[in-house]
Amino acid sequence: MAWNSIIGQHRVKTILQRAITEHKIPHGYCFWGMEGVGKDALALEFAKVVNCNSPGETETGIEACDICKSCKQADKIEHPNIKFVFSLPAGKSGDSRDDSPIFRMSDDQIKLIQEQLQLKSENPYHNITIPNASQIRISSIRDVKKSVTMSAQQEGRRVVIISEADEMTTEAANAFLKTLEEPHDDITLILTTARHDSLPQTIVSRCQQIYCEALTDDDITTALTERMNIYTEEARLISSFAQGSYARACEFLDEDMRRMRHEAVDLLRVALKKNSYRMDILSHLEKLTGEKDRMKVEMMLMLMLMWMRDCHAFAVAQDSAPIINIDQRETIKRFANAFVGADYGAAITAVEEAIMHIRRNVQIQLTMLTLLITCRKIFLGI
């Protein structure tokens, strides 16, 4: 991994590189912003650079060499100067206050933790997921305190990364505060969080706070096409759902977005048939609601919403219209020309209301039927 492998976040990368080159690295950082924008990736790359044996200065900052032993250890999250802390299961009870929390895990738990760290090292945007692990307990923070008081195991700067720091228990947060209040030379503590307001103000105030912005659709689209080897059209479609989060975009890769888009548009076409539409609508809805998958229904509605927005854009600007469904431009053109003068604003509002109803657990079939009848009134005037 290198700075250029981190998606977007150009401002933050500049800040961190300047701190390194000017030797003005603070004792504590707090990287905050929505999930999946690269906070852990930034922290891990920072830790690698400050421990690199042969870093190289560039016109824009400083880069790790990526070939020395230190860099290779950092890439695997196995560097002795880099400690990556995250929520762990409670584990077995122990008598010793000095026990590392990992020693309390079962063999199966340790194996799972190792697997998750491996995935994290391969993809810093990976969200570590371990059953029954929703808290960073005081045993983990005691382990941190013990590590920062020890002598460095090799040259470089020791970096402790507390991932999703808002998951610290009250007891753990109080213990961590004491560590923050006792700064050590050549040690940097980095908190990452998507819930900035959930952290104690006493902790936040002792860190340099760096906001990590949501990623642009273009950034996510480019990352998906280059890293996941998917078509640009599908990547653009997924990025529209991701809402600025690359991690969320990756979750959608398991879904066949183009198939779902076809189903959404086909359902709309069935509803807009002038004759013999009732049985077809009921047949489609029976299939859709039979799965009882609210997430899928919501995604289909989102795809229908983007389709309508594209049709509206085309109706207004014709061939110069900027649309999301680029691969469907001709189909969108035909749809827009078939319903000249349609009140797309009302149709878009109707879909948005249906999405809200699905989220509020309103009965799926009733919600969808109401939406489709409303669309008939809007587009056909009947």
- Do 16 and 69 lie in one domain? The reply is yes
- Do 52 and 162 lie in one domain? The reply is yes
- Do 53 and 159 lie in one domain? The reply is yes
Q: Tell me which of 254, 284, 311 is where a domain ends.
A: 254
- Give the long-range contacts of residues 238-245, CB within 8 A, separation 24 or more: 240/306, 240/324, 241/299, 241/302, 242/36, 242/215, 242/217, 243/34, 243/214, 244/34, 244/37, 244/213, 244/214, 244/215, 244/216, 244/220, 245/34, 245/35, 245/36, 245/37, 245/214, 245/215
Q: Tell me which of 180, 213, 246 is where a domain ends.
A: 213
Reported as half-sphere exposure (CB side, CA atoms, 13 A), residue 21 has a value of: 16
Between the alpha carbon of residue 270 and those of residues 273, 325, 330, 357, the distances in Å are 5, 20, 19, 22
- Do 98 and 165 lie in one domain? The reply is yes
Identify the pLDDT of residue 270.
Answer: 83
- Alpha helices for the chain (secondary structure H): 10-21, 39-51, 69-75, 107-122, 138-149, 170-180, 201-204, 217-227, 232-242, 246-251, 257-271, 278-290, 294-317, 329-338, 344-359, 364-380
* Nearest one of 53, 54, 7 to 33, comparing CA atoms: 7
Return d(Cα 243, Cα 167) in angstroms, integer. Answer: 23
Identify the pLDDT of residue 154.
Answer: 63
- Do 19 and 104 lie in one domain? The reply is yes
- Do 250 and 260 lie in one domain? The reply is no
What are the average pLDDT values for consecutive 10-residue runs of the chain, which has 382 residues? 88 93 91 93 95 86 91 92 89 55 76 89 88 86 81 76 92 89 86 91 93 93 89 82 85 75 84 76 74 78 87 85 78 87 89 89 87 88 75
Between the alpha carbon of residue 238 and those of residues 189, 358, 363, 375, the distances in Å are 35, 20, 27, 25
Q: CATH code at 349?
A: 1.20.272
Contacts of 139 (CB under 8 A, 6+ apart): 99, 100, 101, 104
Identify the pLDDT of residue 139.
Answer: 87
Identify the pLDDT of residue 272.
Answer: 85
Phi, psi of 157, deg, nearest 5? -120, 130
Return d(Cα 366, Cα 368) in angstroms, integer. Answer: 6
Identify the pLDDT of residue 95.
Answer: 44
Angle at 132 between CA 126 and CA 136, to 5 degrees: 70
- Do 302 and 372 lie in one domain? The reply is yes
The total of other beta-carbon atoms located within 10 Å of residue 191's CB is 28
Q: Inter-axis angle of helices 294-317 and 329-338, to 10 degrees?
A: 70
- Do 231 and 136 lie in one domain? The reply is no
Length of the chain (residues) = 382
- Do 203 and 308 lie in one domain? The reply is no
**pTM score, two decimals?**
0.76
307: left (phi over 0), alpha (psi -120 to 50) or beta: alpha
Q: Are 142 and 177 in contact (CB under 8 A)?
A: no
- Do 87 and 224 lie in one domain? The reply is no
- Do 303 and 190 lie in one domain? The reply is no
Q: CATH code at 148?
A: 3.40.50.300
Q: Tell me which of 181, 213, 245 is where a domain ends.
A: 213
Between strands 158-162 and 82-85, the pairing is parallel
- Do 102 and 148 lie in one domain? The reply is yes
Angle at 359 between CA 356 and CA 360, to 5 degrees: 90
Query: Domain range spanning residue 225?
Result: 215-254
Q: Specify the number of domains making up the chain.
A: 3
Return d(Cα 312, Cα 343) in angstroms, integer. Answer: 9
